[in-house]
Each structure stands twice: as structure tokens, then as C-alpha cells.
Amino acid sequence: MVLISPSRRLRRTPFSEGVEAAGVKAYTVYNHMLLPTVFESLEADYHHLKQYVQVWDVSCERQVELRGPDAGRLMQMLTPRDLRGMLPGQCCYVPIVDETGGMLNDPVAVKLSEDRWWVSIADSDLLFWIKGVVNGWRLDVLVDEPDVSPLAIQGPKADDLLARVFGDSVRDIRFFRFGIYQFQGRDVVIARSGYSKQGGFEIYVEGRERGMPLWRKLFEAGQDLNVRAGCPSAIERIEGGLLSYGNDMTDDNTPHECGLGRFCNTHTAIGCIGRDALLRVATEGPVQQIRAIAISGDPVPVCDRVWPVYSNSKRVGQVTSAAWSPDFETNVAIGMIRMTHWDDETKVEVETPDGMRPALVREKFWI
Amino acid sequence: MVLISPSRRLRRTPFSEGVEAAGVKAYTVYNHMLLPTVFESLEADYHHLKQYVQVWDVSCERQVELRGPDAGRLMQMLTPRDLRGMLPGQCCYVPIVDETGGMLNDPVAVKLSEDRWWVSIADSDLLFWIKGVVNGWRLDVLVDEPDVSPLAIQGPKADDLLARVFGDSVRDIRFFRFGIYQFQGRDVVIARSGYSKQGGFEIYVEGRERGMPLWRKLFEAGQDLNVRAGCPSAIERIEGGLLSYGNDMTDDNTPHECGLGRFCNTHTAIGCIGRDALLRVATEGPVQQIRAIAISGDPVPVCDRVWPVYSNSKRVGQVTSAAWSPDFETNVAIGMIRMTHWDDETKVEVETPDGMRPALVREKFWI
């Protein structure tokens, strides 16, 4: 139980006041910003998320805005996913790789118009990579971090809550599409997306002064829906196989190793940095890949480092996220497993801090 | 009092085991890595640092390694400081700016040889900027993050401690120079540098497996010197005017605003990205600049956000770091002050979370 030392460098968000009033108990740091991790308890927060609706301060999903005539060309340079068919109003999950095919980030690209994009980033300063590329390639595009802070509404009652605030038409927003709505007389982008499998939305709040008014409005509107402040659930996201950049993948990994091969159109994504490096792995396949792993026994301790995975004393992979799942009554985990042991139901052993545990590799997550 | 949630993404260091055994009470996160902030208490740690010697786990000062024929050219592209006279064996504090002259990082460059450099970074993914620049400009240089973790030895007894472990010749290392020493039969770079004004060294530990053996060796050798585990002191670094990237400066600021104009040779640093943007500010000077600020009254609360600075109800600046100084018996602070109010002894008011406080702008820090 160690404290976090506050400083300006660990940036507060437009919703921090609300988060504190809701009794946040723990944080992580994500893109140099505070991200709540616990309100009541990991398990209580998890059960509530699956039953009701939560409002999440995910301001730390910072945006990188691309504006200008070369914005579309730049976006395609950044990802092996073929974006030619993408229309304004769509969101796309886009692996971003360096020249060796190593993952730099796994953001959601939001196409506002042909010459304006937001890239909603995971935990690395993707802004720096993009600015460097733009500088070196002399592209005609402005790149910066706008004053936009996502607020996620997640859980089975998310549609009901948002319909009360923005009208019933939010129910018609399709998955990974967004619409433009009004709040306090100004446009606000609302997408059907979010870092859980419980359904919901992400509201891209432009202008930090609009943060707390929207926060309060949502809580007023949702009282009888049992709305609460929440945050991405470490348990639920592992059950659902939602990867975390920095935890389950780093720049050592290709998208194919991360199971993101379906988002790589290596043959048609012309101009993508790292394409050459990925062509071979796209053809031959990776030698290790992300897998679900069920770890036996009592609830595991916190997974704050790589846990090696063995078979007959030979290292065959590693676990990078793990938690006890109350609903599935097992320890759920995410790891990278070598092809010799990645088939469904393969028995392995995981070296946890409190000893070796039998475990089972699974092809499917718990959904 | 909020906890930090551990995860692999908040990377442990080669010295984490030692840090935990020493009873670390709080962390911050810096370059996606744990950085201790409190052992006994802020004040006790501060007094001890000024009197004895501390071993600091500053692994979070990650290195970016540049290797190859274009390494020197690249290094000069990154900074407005003229590096032509720099020799292998030297360290240089180098502001790094983008094309607009905005600060991206303020690292120490370590010149290992003509074609091999380490850039010892502050809290931003400078690796990403450098990789983007290298890609776009097609430079012949390899860029990555090596397995190198700095361990700082700081305090008035630092020379005595290090001489016991590495021999008396460490006493002859000049400020911001380094020497190559031996530990466990392998080379180790030791520089006279560090993020305090108490004197000392930074040991660049290559190979994480060498971390704890070195840690233990230092503590064994320094028992009668009252050596302790420590960390950069929030109080001491403000007294000494040591800036913190992300706290006292961001990419909004030019080096000149940060008082780093003396490290900018804008006329001779040919090829530096951002040089055009900095030429004007180099000639005309900035309109706001970093200053020491003494804030009156009782100890201020933790400065976890910008505190506006006023004069006659007009905003004239902001405070970004502040702490009660036991030695100087005042609140010491760092802020950015407009030129109308930056002269020594100018009276201003600082809006702290518990009210407006009279304050005095100072041209010199408390050293």
C-alpha cells in the first residue's frame, strides 16, 4: 500500500473535482495524467459496472489532432490498417507501428472530416512520434494535443442514461460510429465505444470548463439508474480480452503477436511506416501471440511485473495482466505464449510471486 | 492520501527490491516507471540529504541511445546548444525543442564516442520524437532504449562513499564529466552529476542483473557514513532552482522562458530543428521567464496544479512547484512570471488552494 505523490506533472483532469468527491481511493498515471483505478473496491466496482452504469474520467485518453491537407496521408503512414474506405463519422482501432513493425500505441482514430482527425491514444507520447514524422517528411499538417477530454459512460444502462441527457437518438449510434450532439450550446462528439465489454459511449468533451457541468448533469439524470463514478475495471477488461498498451504489449511486439493481425492490411496500406517489416510476419505469422490464460488456485496477487510461463521447466511465454474473476471463479490472465503452447487447453505453469501455479492456455477470452 | 495501483505498465526498476526493503512510502510515475518520492518523510529525507549521503533509484531517467555514423548530426538536430566542442567523456545539459521552439525534454546528453550517445531523459517519450525525426530524415543511426538504469549517489558524503567502492580516482571526476569504472568485471559509466545541489554522482548501470548487487555493495560500504535510500527532494530542488519538465515547463515554453537561454547557441547550432523559431526570441528575449518566488505564511499545501500569480488583480504569472523550506523558513516556489513583474523583490500575490498569499519574486534561488 504505497501512496501516489501529487504534482502538476501528473495532470489533473476537467473531472478531477467530481472524481475526488466520489471518493477515489487509488490512481494510476496514464499519459502524464491521473486515471482513477478504485472507488469502492476492485470487486464492488466490477459488479456495479456489469449491472448498472458508470461515468469514467478517461481524460487520460489524450487526443492528437491532425489538421491540414496532408492529414489523411499522414494517418495512413501511421498505421498498417487500410483506411481508404473510412468515412467521416467513423472511429477505427488502429495499431501504430514504427519502422520495425513494433507497436508504438493502439489508439482509436476518429475521422472528423477529410482533413481533420483525432487520435485517441493509449499510454505513450504518440504526439512525439507523429510530430517527428511530420517534421522529417515535411508534411503539410498541424499536429497538437487539443483541450479534449473523453468521459466514458459504460454499463448496461448507458443508453438509458445518455438518452436522458442528449435525447433518444443516441440509441441509434452504431458501434464505433459517432454523432455530433449539443451541450451548453456547443458541439460535442459522442461515439459508441469504450474500454469495457458492457456497452456504452465516449463523450469527447472539448473545453475543460465544460467538464464538471456535464459530470453533474449525468449524475443528476442517472440517480435512479444507480449511476456511479467508475473507471476501467482491471478484472472485466481481462475477462473481455481488452489489451493494455504497456502491460500486454510494448514496442517489442508486432500487431500480429498482439492478435491484431486483422487490423493490418499490409498489402494495401501503401505508405505505412513499418510495412516492409510487417510483410513477412503477415505471411508467415508470428511465433508468439496474446492468449487468455486461466491460472488455478486462490486469487493471485497484483500482477505488477512479467510472470514467466513454463512448460516442463522451459520458458514458453509470460503473463502480463492477471486478476481474480468473481463471475468466472478463476484467475483470468493475459499473456504472450509461444506457438508451441498456444493451442486451446494447453497446460502450462505460471511463476507468480507466491509460487508456481498450474494454468490453462485458452484461445477465447471469457465472453 | 490516495494509493497508487501497481501494474506492469508502471515499470519496476533493477533497484525496486532495495527501495521496498528501505520502506518507500510514496511514488510518482516518471517515464512509465516508478520513482520513489518519500522514505521517512519529505522533511526528514531533505535534512538527511544535506548532511550525509543517499542512494537514489533514478532508473526512470531512461536513456535513448544513438548509434551510427549520423549520431552526432542527429544530436545537433535535436538541440539549439552548439555541441561542436563537446568531447567523448563529457555530459551536456541540452534543451530539446520542436519546430516551434517548444521544449520537448531537458535531458543530459552523454557523449560516449563520436558515433555513440546516451540521452538521459526527463519525463516525456523523447525516444518517439527522435525515432520520428530519424525516420523522416532517413538518418543512418539506430535509436533505442538500452537496459541502462541510473543510480544517483547524492549528498556531501557522496565522494567518500563512492571512493570506497570504486577507488579514490572517482574524486577527480570533474562536474559533468564521466569516467569508466569496473563493477563485477564489466564497465560502468560514472558521471559527476545529479538532480540536487548537494554534489554527487550518477552511475549508469548497464544490465538490470547488476542493479541489486551494486545497491547492496553501496549500503555495505557506507554504513558508518549513515547512507540511506533517498530520492530527489521536492524541497531541495526548488531551493536550488532545479527545474522539472512537466511541472515547471512544458512544450508551451521556449528554453529562453525557462531561463535556459545560456544553453541555446541559436546562431551557430546549424541544423537544429526549431532554430528559426528561436532566433527571434533569442534576439528580443522572452516575455515571461522562470523565477524563484517566496510565498509568505504557513507551509503551503501540495502544489498539484498551476497556482495563478496576480498583481493588482491582473494575472502576471503562475507557480508550478512549491514547498515549505525548513532551512530558509519560507515557502520556496518556482513559477513563470511576466516581464512586467519579474524584477527582483517584486511583490505579487499567489492564489493557493487555501487562499491568496503575498509573495516576492526573486532573481536568485536559495543557494
Residue bearing the bigger pLDDT, B1 or B92 = B92
- Per the structure, the complete domain to which residue B92 belongs is given by 63-144
Tens of pLDDT, residue by residue, chain A (367 residues)? 799 999 999 999 999 999 999 999 999 999 999 999 999 999 999 999 999 999 999 999 999 999 999 999 999 999 999 999 999 999 999 999 999 999 999 999 999 999 999 999 999 999 999 999 999 999 999 999 999 999 999 999 999 999 999 999 999 999 999 999 999 999 999 999 999 999 999 999 999 999 999 999 999 999 999 999 999 999 999 999 999 999 999 999 999 999 999 999 988 998 999 999 999 888 889 999 999 999 999 999 999 999 999 999 999 999 999 999 999 999 999 999 999 999 999 999 999 999 999 999 999 999 8
Domain ends where: B116, B144, B172? Answer: B144
Residue A202 placed within a domain: yes
- Written as one string, the DSSP assignment of B155-186 is STTHHHHHHHHH-GGGGGPPBTBEEEEEETTE
- Asked whether residue A49 falls in the same domain as residue A194, the answer is yes
> Which of A37, A123, A244 has the CB atom closest to B5's CB atom?
A37
Which band of pLDDT confidence, cut at 50, 70 and 90, is reported for residue B1? confident
Q: Could you tell me the CATH number of the domain that includes residue B327?
A: 2.40.30.110
Residue B195 placed within a domain: yes
Q: Rounded to a whole number, what is the distance in Å from the CA of B39 to chain A's nearest CA?
A: 11
- Asked whether residue B84 falls in the same domain as residue B207, the answer is no
Q: In chain A, which among 204-263 make CB contacts under 8 A with chain B?
A: 234, 244-247
Q: In the prediction, which pLDDT does A367 show?
A: 80
- Asked whether residue B88 falls in the same domain as residue B186, the answer is no
- Minimum Cα–Cα distance from B30: chain A residue: A32
- Asked whether residue A51 falls in the same domain as residue A67, the answer is no
Q: Could you tell me the CATH number of the domain that includes residue B121?
A: 3.30.70.1400
Instruction: Give the pairing of strands A314-325 and A307-311.
Output: antiparallel
> Which of A5, A125, A234 has the CB atom closest to B124's CB atom?
A125
Which 3-state string (H, E, C) describes A20-33? Answer: HHCCCCEEEEECCE
Half-sphere exposure of B365 (CA within 13 A, CB side): 19
| CB within 8 Å: A8 and B136 | no
Which amino acid is present at A277?
Answer: A
Q: Is B113 an 8 Å CB contact of chain A?
A: no
Q: Is B87 an 8 Å CB contact of chain A?
A: no
> Which of A3, A4, A9, A306 should we substitute to test contact with B (largest number of B Cβ atoms within 10 Å)?
A9
> What phi and psi, each to the nearest 5 degrees, are found at residue A133?
-60, -45
Say which residue the cell 525534454 belongs to.
Answer: B105
Q: Provide, as residue numbers in chain A, all residues whose Cβ is less than 8 Å from the Cβ of B245.
A: 9
CA dihedral B232→B233→B239→B245, nearest 10 degrees, is 50
Domain ends where: B112, B144, B176? Answer: B144
Q: Is A124 an 8 Å CB contact of chain B?
A: yes
Using CA atoms, how far residue B255 sits from A37, A350, B277, B278, B282, in Å, is 36, 49, 11, 9, 10
Radius of gyration of chain A from its Cα atoms, rounded to whole angstroms: 21
Distance separating alpha carbons of residues B351 and B305, to the nearest angstrom: 11
Residues 6+ apart with CB under 8 A from B367: B197, B239, B240, B241
Cβ atoms within 10 Å, residue A55:
28
In the predicted model, is pLDDT for residue B367 greater than 90? no
Q: Cell triple for residue B141?
A: 543511426
Q: In chain B, which among 44-73 make CB contacts under 8 A with chain A?
A: none
> Which of A15, A135, A305, A352 should we substitute to test contact with B (largest number of B Cβ atoms within 10 Å)?
A135
Cβ atoms within 10 Å, residue B242:
18
- pLDDT tens track for B3-15: 999 999 999 999 9
> Which of B1, B4, B8 should we substitute to test contact with A (largest number of A Cβ atoms within 10 Å)?
B8
Say which residue the cell 487490423 belongs to.
Answer: A263
Do residues A120 and A150 lie in contact, with contact meaning Cβ atoms separated by under 8 Å? yes
- Asked whether residue B83 falls in the same domain as residue B218, the answer is no
Do residues A125 and B62 lie in contact, with contact meaning Cβ atoms separated by under 8 Å? no
Residue A260 placed within a domain: no
- Minimum Cα–Cα distance from B11: chain A residue: A305
Number of residues written out for chain A:
367
- Asked whether residue B75 falls in the same domain as residue B29, the answer is no
How does the average pLDDT of chain B come out, rounded? 97
Mean pLDDT along residues B83-95: 97
In the predicted model, is pLDDT for residue B189 greater than 80? yes
Say which residue the cell 538532480 belongs to.
Answer: B195
Domain ends where: B94, B120, B144? Answer: B144
Mean pLDDT along residues B122-133: 98
The closest alpha carbon to B310, from B322, B295, B323, B297, belongs to B295
Burial tier of A180 (Cβ tally within 10 Å: 0-12, 13-18, 19+): exposed
ipTM for this prediction: 0.97
Residue B367 placed within a domain: yes
- Asked whether residue A211 falls in the same domain as residue A200, the answer is yes
Do residues A245 and A223 lie in contact, with contact meaning Cβ atoms separated by under 8 Å? no
Task: Identify each DSSP E strand in A121-183 by its residue range.
Answer: 142-144, 148-154, 178-183
- Asked whether residue A208 falls in the same domain as residue A131, the answer is no
The DSSP symbol for B354 reads T
Rounded to 5°, the CA angle A204-A209-A214 comes to 55
In the predicted model, is pLDDT for residue B272 greater than 80? yes
Q: Is B98 an 8 Å CB contact of chain A?
A: yes
- pLDDT tens track for B210-262: 999 999 999 999 999 999 999 999 999 999 999 999 999 999 999 999 999 99
Q: In the prediction, which pLDDT does A1 show?
A: 77
Q: Rounded to a whole number, what is the distance in Å from the CA of B138 to chain A's nearest CA?
A: 8
Q: Is B267 an 8 Å CB contact of chain A?
A: no
- Asked whether residue A56 falls in the same domain as residue A155, the answer is yes
Where is B217: in which H helix or E strand?
helix B211-221
Q: In the prediction, which pLDDT does A327 show?
A: 98
Q: Could you tell me the CATH number of the domain that includes residue B154?
A: 3.30.1360.120
Residue A170 placed within a domain: yes
B345: alpha, beta or left, given left = phi > 0 and alpha = psi -120 to 50?
left
Q: Is B336 an 8 Å CB contact of chain A?
A: no
Whole-prediction pTM: 0.97
Rounded to 5°, the CA angle A207-A244-B143 comes to 90
Say which residue the cell 533493477 belongs to.
Answer: B14
Q: Provide, as residue numbers in chain A, all residues whose Cβ is less than 8 Å from the Cβ of B136.
A: 132-138
- Written as one string, the DSSP assignment of B274-325 is THHHHHHHHHH--SEEEEEEEEPSSPP----S-EEEEETTEEEEEEEEEEEE
Distance separating alpha carbons of residues B21 and B41, to the nearest angstrom: 16
How many separate domains does chain A show? 3
Q: In the prediction, which pLDDT does A58 show?
A: 98
- Asked whether residue A53 falls in the same domain as residue A161, the answer is yes
The closest alpha carbon to B84, from B225, B231, B265, belongs to B265
In this prediction, what percent of chain B has a pLDDT beyond 90?
Answer: 97
Distance separating alpha carbons of residues A208 and A65, to the nearest angstrom: 16
- Asked whether residue A186 falls in the same domain as residue A307, the answer is no
Q: In chain A, which among 140-199 make CB contacts under 8 A with chain B?
A: none
Distance separating alpha carbons of residues B348 and A359, to the nearest angstrom: 63
The DSSP symbol for B131 reads H
Q: Provide, as residue numbers in chain A, all residues whose Cβ is less than 8 Å from the Cβ of B2.
A: 3-4, 24-27
Q: Provide, as residue numbers in chain B, all residues whose Cβ is less than 8 Å from the Cβ of A128.
A: 104, 124-126, 128-129, 132
Mean pLDDT along residues B316-344: 98
Q: Is B129 an 8 Å CB contact of chain A?
A: yes
The DSSP symbol for A166 reads H
- pLDDT tens track for B138-171: 999 999 999 999 999 999 999 999 999 999 999 9
Say which residue the cell 519496476 belongs to.
Answer: B12
Do residues B238 and B322 lie in contact, with contact meaning Cβ atoms separated by under 8 Å? yes
- Asked whether residue A156 falls in the same domain as residue A40, the answer is yes
Residue A274 placed within a domain: no
- Minimum Cα–Cα distance from B42: chain A residue: A5
Residue B259 placed within a domain: no
- Minimum Cα–Cα distance from B318: chain A residue: A8
Q: Cell triple for residue A123?
A: 499510454
> Which of B3, B4, B9, B142 should we substitute to test contact with A (largest number of A Cβ atoms within 10 Å)?
B9
Burial tier of B353 (Cβ tally within 10 Å: 0-12, 13-18, 19+): exposed
Q: In the prediction, which pLDDT does A141 show?
A: 98
Residue A362 placed within a domain: yes
Mean pLDDT along residues B310-327: 98
